[in-house]
C-alpha cells in the first residue's frame, strides 16, 4: 500500500491512523498530513477525544524517512524537513482534545517523540523504544523537549546517549512514557477503546482546561522546536551523517 493518513470519527472518538511501507517512517508529506489531521480534529465539535495509531503490528513508527534525509542538500531543505516534526508535536500540544496513543510496536527516533507527545500512551510489551539520532550524526533535537517533558532529563539523556540500545516497554512504562502496557494487541485495543469511550462522555471544556495545565510551560515551543529543527538541518549535511546514513541503508 501507499503511505496514508486517515481520520474517522465515531461516537465522539476521532481515530487518526498513519502508515508508510517503510516501517511507518515519516516523510515530509506524512508529517504535514498528520499535523493537519490533528489540528482538524481539535476544532471539530464532533470530536471529544483523539486516538493516534499506526497500521501494522511490529512498528508503531520508525521516525524520519531515510530516503528524504539522504536527499537533503542544504540547510534550508534540512530545516524544512525537520520542521515537519515540530508541526506535528505542536499540533498535538495545542490540540484542545486529549490524545490517546495506541502504541502497538517499536518506536524509533521521531516515533518516540510521537509517543511522548500524546497525552496518554497505551502500549504492548513489544513496544521497545530507541532514540537513534546520534548514531546517524544528528541528535533528538526536535522531539527532545517532548521526550524530556514526559520522561525527565535523566531518562531522556540515557536514551539520547546510548543511541544503539533498545529499552523495552516495561522500562518505558516505569519512566512514564507509557501509561499502560499490555501483553497482546487484543488487550491493547480493549484498553484504548475503553478509555476513549469513557473520555468521550466527559466535559470537553474540563478536559481542555486540564490539558492546558498539563502542557503549561511549553508555550514557547512554536519557536523552540523550529530552532531545534535548524540544528538537525545543519548537522544532517555533515560527511559523518551522510556516511552513517548510507551505512545504515546498506544494512537494511
Determine how β-strand 4-10 pairs with β-strand 13-19: antiparallel
Q: Is residue 201 in some structural domain?
A: no
Mean pLDDT of the chain: 96
pTM listed for this prediction = 0.96
Q: Is residue 248 in some structural domain?
A: no
Nearest of 138, 162, 172 to residue 60 by alpha carbon? 172
| Residues facing 106 on adjacent strands | 59
Res 221: pLDDT = 98
Describe the crossing of helices 144-151 and 75-94 by its angle, rounded to 10 degrees.
Answer: 40
For the cut 70, the answer to whether the pLDDT of residue 28 exceeds it is yes
Q: Is residue 39 in some structural domain?
A: yes
Give DSSP secondary structure letters for 155-197: HHHHHHHSTT--B-HHHHHHHTS-SEEESSHHHHHHHHHHHHH
Per-residue pLDDT, averaged over 15-21, amounts to 98
Q: Which CATH number fits the domain that encloses residue 53?
A: 3.90.226.10
Burial 34-66 (b: 16+ CB within 10 A, else e): bbebbbebbeeeebbbbbbbbbeeebbbbbbbb
**Contact (Cβ atoms closer than 8 angstroms) between residue 83 and residue 36:** no
Total domain count, the chain:
1
For the cut 90, the answer to whether the pLDDT of residue 228 exceeds it is yes
Q: Is residue 63 in some structural domain?
A: yes
Q: What is the pLDDT of residues 44-71, one digit of tens each?
A: 999 999 999 999 999 999 999 988 999 9
Per-residue pLDDT, averaged over 110-132, amounts to 98
Q: Is residue 211 in some structural domain?
A: no
Res 252: pLDDT = 63
Q: Is residue 16 in some structural domain?
A: yes
Q: Could you tell me where the DSSP H helices lie in the chain? A: 28-43, 66-71, 75-94, 110-117, 144-151, 153-161, 169-175, 185-199, 204-214, 221-235, 239-251
Q: Is residue 91 in some structural domain?
A: yes
Q: Is residue 251 in some structural domain?
A: no
**For residue 100, what are the domain limits?**
4-184
CA–CA distance, 36 with 171 (Å, rounded to integer): 32
For the cut 70, the answer to whether the pLDDT of residue 168 exceeds it is yes
Q: Quickly tell me which residue has 501507499 as its cell.
A: 2
For the cut 80, the answer to whether the pLDDT of residue 93 exceeds it is yes
pLDDT class for 251, splitting at 50, 70, 90? confident
Per-residue pLDDT, averaged over 186-213, amounts to 98
Res 247: pLDDT = 84
Q: What is the pLDDT of residues 68-92, one digit of tens each?
A: 999 999 999 999 999 999 999 999 9
Amino acid at each position: 500500500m501507499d503511505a496514508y493518513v486517515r481520520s474517522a470519527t465515531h461516537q465522539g472518538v476521532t481515530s487518526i491512523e498513519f502508515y508508510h511501507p517503510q516501517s511507518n517512517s515519516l516523510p515530509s508529506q506524512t508529517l504535514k498530513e498528520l499535523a493537519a489531521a490533528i489540528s482538524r480534529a481539535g476544532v471539530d465539535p464532533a470530536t471529544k477525544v483523539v486516538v493516534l495509531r499506526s497500521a501494522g503490528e511490529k512498528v508503531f513508527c520508525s521516525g524520519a524517512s531515510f530516503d528524504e534525509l539522504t536527499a537533503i542538500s542544504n540547510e534550508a531543505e534540512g530545516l524544512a524537513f525537520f520542521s515537519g516534526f515540530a508541526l506535528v508535536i505542536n499540533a498535538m500540544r495545542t490540540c484542545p482534545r486529549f490524545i490517546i496513543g495506541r502504541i502497538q510496536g517499536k518506536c524509533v527516533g521521531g516515533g518516540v517523540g510521537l509517543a511522548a507527545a500524546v497525552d496518554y500512551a497505551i502500549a504492548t510489551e513489544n513496544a521497545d523504544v530507541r532514540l537513534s539520532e546520534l548514531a546517524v550524526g544528528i541528535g533528538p533535537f526536535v522531539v527532545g523537549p517532548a521526550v524530556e517533558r514526559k520522561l525527565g532529563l535523566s531518562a531522556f539523556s540515557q536514551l539520547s546517549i546510548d543511541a544503539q540500545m533498545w529499552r523495552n516497554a516495561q522500562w518505558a512504562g516505569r519512566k512514564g512514557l507509557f501509561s499502560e502496557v499490555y501483553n497482546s494487541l487484543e488487550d491493547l485495543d480493549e484498553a484504548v477503546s475503553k478509555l476513549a469511550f469513557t473520555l468521550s462522555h466527559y466535559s470537553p471544556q474540563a478536559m481542555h482546561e486540564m490539558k492546558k495545565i498539563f502542557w503549561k510551560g511549553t508555550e514557547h515551543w512554536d519557536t523552540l522546536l523550529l530552532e531545534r529543527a535548524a540544528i538537525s538541518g545543519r548537522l544532517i549535511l555533515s560527511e559523518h551523517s551522510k556516511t552513517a546514513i548510507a551505512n545504515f541503508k546498506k544494512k537494511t
